[in-house]
């Protein structure tokens, strides 16, 4: 449950049994989905064969021989990097959404909705069109992080008034930021060559096709740092949910907390967008579902959102690869098909609870 900054949140009973059950279910779901996803595609590999190949790499022999001679090569060079990317990026987007909802004190805050993903994509596409490479493999990720950070700060400054974030102001700010970044992407598309245009279209649709280990090596450290740092903030975020005045009385430096959280959001979204493009609504849907099941305490919410985001994006990627034979659907399109109606439902629910737009 989200509250205005100066309105103390009602006491919520902890739900340890439900939380443990949910974490266990999500963990099992992530493992099973990863095994199935790695083995699914034009070259089918059974889950036991996948397990045998993976354990064989660390010296554990299950005695299972793969039926196809190219199965192991396909798994290590094509399937596994893509599945790892979907797992890591899903977790990053879900955690970024949870952090944004906590610092804005608004359930509608989400990187895609308020334009942070578009801003990060603008930075990433600038690296492509202008051929920038001053940070080597990290150049695209660094520019995505920088643009995402600037966008998050702009949204934060313009959407907050008198210590709170109004729903209408937040959405209108998101529309304006998305429109501006959309215009920037259109300009880059106009001046770019054919190859750059194709890559920009890829960024706008969102896809994990072509993921490589070198990209995984860039994304994973950024997401690990972002998620680990978020664990340090959860206690302060719980106090912030009591209201700004209460949090300050309890020793929380509210503005410093928000700035740190904004930097973490930019890091997580920048890492995700740099190599997968704009994938919307994961940060909106997952934290909300978890909050509805286990309540608003941020530590269990962070753990379950991390697992839930990873599971959701792996399932979406699996569907994108297998729904149509010899076709790879844009994953951003699929998440928007699910997230759009969910956002509309959440919008009406928020309006009904507020008795109108605050």
The whole-number pLDDT of residue 355 equals: 60
Task: Identify the segments of the chain with pLDDT beneath 50.
Answer: 1-8, 11, 358
Could you tell me which residues are beta bridge partners of residue 164?
161
**Both tokens assigned to 40:** 């699914």
**Both tokens assigned to 258:** 């928000």
**Both tokens assigned to 274:** 């740099």
pTM: 0.85
Query: Phi and psi at residue 164, in whole multiples of 5°?
Result: -145, 165
Long-range contacts of 38-45 (CB under 8 A, 24+ apart): 38/75, 38/79, 38/80, 38/83, 39/75, 39/79, 40/318, 40/321, 40/322, 41/74, 41/79, 41/321, 41/322, 42/326, 43/68, 43/70, 43/71, 43/74, 45/71, 45/74, 45/75, 45/79
The whole-number pLDDT of residue 1 equals: 45
Which residue is it, tokens 């503005």?
Answer: 255
pLDDT digits (tens, 9 = 90+) for 225-276: 999 999 999 999 999 888 888 888 988 888 888 888 888 988 898 888 888 8
Non-local CB neighbours of 315 within 8 Å, separated by 6+ positions: 33
Which residue is it, tokens 């959001």?
Answer: 265
Would you say 181 and 115 are in contact if contact means Cβ atoms under 8 Å apart?
A: yes
User: Cα angle at 194 between 135 and 117, to 5 degrees?
Assistant: 55
Which of 7, 241, 273, 234 has its CA nearest to residue 107? 241
Give the chain's radius of gyration (CA, Å): 21
Could you tell me which residues are beta bridge partners of residue 160?
165
Non-local CB neighbours of 282 within 8 Å, separated by 6+ positions: 90, 93, 94, 97, 112, 309, 312, 313, 335, 339
């Amino acid at each position: 449950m989200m509250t205005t900054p100066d309105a103390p949140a009602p006491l919520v009973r902890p739900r340890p049994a439900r939380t443990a059950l949910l974490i266990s279910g999500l963990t099992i779901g992530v493992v099973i989905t990863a095994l199935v996803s790695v083995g699914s595609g034009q070259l089918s590999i059974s889950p036991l064969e996948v397990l045998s190949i993976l354990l064989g790499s660390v010296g554990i022999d299950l005695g299972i021989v793969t039926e196809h001679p190219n199965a192991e090569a396909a798994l290590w060079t094509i399937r596994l990097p893509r599945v790892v990317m979907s797992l890591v990026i899903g977790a990053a987007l879900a955690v970024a959404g949870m952090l944004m909802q906590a610092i804005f004190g608004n359930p509608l805050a989400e990187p895609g909705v308020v334009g942070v993903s578009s801003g990060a994509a603008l930075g990433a596409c600038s690296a492509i069109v202008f051929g920038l490479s001053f940070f080597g493999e990290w150049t695209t990720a660094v520019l995505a992080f920088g643009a995402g950070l600037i966008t998050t700060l702009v949204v934060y400054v313009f959407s907050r008034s008198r210590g709170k974030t109004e729903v209408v102001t937040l959405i209108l700010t998101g529309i304006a930021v998305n429109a501006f970044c959309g215009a920037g992407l259109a300009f880059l598309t106009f001046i770019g060559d054919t190859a750059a245009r194709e890559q920009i279209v890829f960024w706008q649709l969102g896809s994990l096709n072509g993921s490589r280990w070198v990209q995984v090596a860039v994304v994973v450290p950024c997401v690990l740092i972002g998620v680990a740092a978020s664990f340090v903030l959860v206690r302060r975020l719980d106090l912030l949910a009591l209201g700004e005045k209460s949090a300050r009385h309890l020793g929380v430096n509210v503005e410093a907390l928000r700035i740190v959280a904004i930097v973490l959001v930019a890091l997580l979204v920048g890492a995700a967008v740099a190599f997968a493009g704009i994938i919307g609504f994961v940060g909106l849907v997952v934290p909300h579902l978890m909050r509805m099941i286990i309540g608003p305490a941020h530590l269990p919410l962070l753990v379950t959102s991390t697992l839930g985001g990873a599971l959701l994006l792996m399932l979406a990627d699996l569907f994108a690869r297998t729904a149509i034979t010899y076709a790879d659907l844009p994953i951003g399109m699929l998440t928007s098909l699910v997230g759009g109606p969910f956002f509309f439902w959440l919008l009406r629910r928020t309006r009904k609870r507020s008795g109108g737009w605050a």
